[in-house]
Structure 1
Amino acid sequence: MFDLGVAGDDADDLFREITKLYPIDFSGSDLPERFGSEGFWPWQPPLLLLRLLKSIFTRLIFGQALQDRTGGVRIRDVTDWAMAGKWTPPR
């Protein structure tokens, strides 16, 4: 969760506890893609470097930032899901 800095298994634990209190249907969600892994893997530094270069290139050429898919879940998204009882793409 972007607001809290939650990633990996911690996100899984957090959402498990939230769904105990609020029945939210997460079918069709892309939550696993939105939370990075907790650990540090050997291939992560090169991928992070490529992502950084792509972001810089996109800003220079197109004058815009890339949409970040990881960590894009905010507390307000979770409260919206709890009130609706189902997952919807984060704003």
Structure 2
Amino acid sequence: MPRELSQKDINLLKQVAPECKGLDCAGSGAPYKSILPPLANHFATSEKDFRERLEKLGQEDLEYLLSLIQNGSESLGCVPPHYMQVFIDLV
């Protein structure tokens, strides 16, 4: 279910992707609606980089991401499966 990123979401995205300057997808021009897809597809350069970025988050932030996934707010459709495995392994 698409959503507008909250300030907390934006802060999390900028924590794991400090180079993030705007909140629009470079490919589609549409605003980001989730945290993990842009991290995986626009900022992380590899699975290792994706993991290292996620490791910057504390337990509370990871639990927040999990709650977004559980309630359907965090879209995972655009996250490559091997990146999702990295997230699952980390959690």
Question: Max radius of gyration: which structure?
Answer: 1
Q: Which has the higher contact order (CA 8 A, sep 6+)?
A: 1
TM-score under structure 1 length normalisation: 0.27
TM-score under structure 2 length normalisation: 0.27
